[in-house]
A and B are shown apart, each in its own frame.
Chain A
Amino acid sequence: MRPFAYHQPHQIPDAAKLLTSIEDSKLVAGGMTLIPTLKQRLANPPALVDLSKLGNLKGIADDGVTVTIGAMTPHAVVAASKLVQQKIPGLAALASMIGDPAVRSRGTIGGSVANNDPAADYPAGVLGLGATIVTTTREIAADKFFLGLFETALEPGEIITAIRFPVPLKAGYAKFKAPASRYALVGVFVAKFADGVRVAVTGAGPGVFRVPQMEAALSGNFDPSAIAAIKIDTDGLTSDIHAEADYRAHLVTVMAKRAVDAALN
Chain B
Amino acid sequence: MQIPSTGLEAGVEGAVLKADVRDLDFYYGAFHALKRVSMPIHDHMVTALIGPSGCGKSTLLRCFNRMHDLYPGNRYDGGGIVLYPDNTNLLAPEVDPIEVRMRISMVFQKPNPFPKSIYENVAYSLRVRGMRNKNELDDRVESALKGAALWNEVSNRLNELGANLSGGQQQRLCIARALASDPEIILFDEPTSALDPIATASIEELIIELKEKVTILIVTHNMQQAARISDYTAYMYLGEMVEFGVTDQVFIKPQKKATEDYITGRFG
Q: Does B bind A?
A: no
Chain A residues engaging chain B, CB cutoff 8 angstroms: none
Chain B residues engaging chain A, CB cutoff 8 angstroms: none
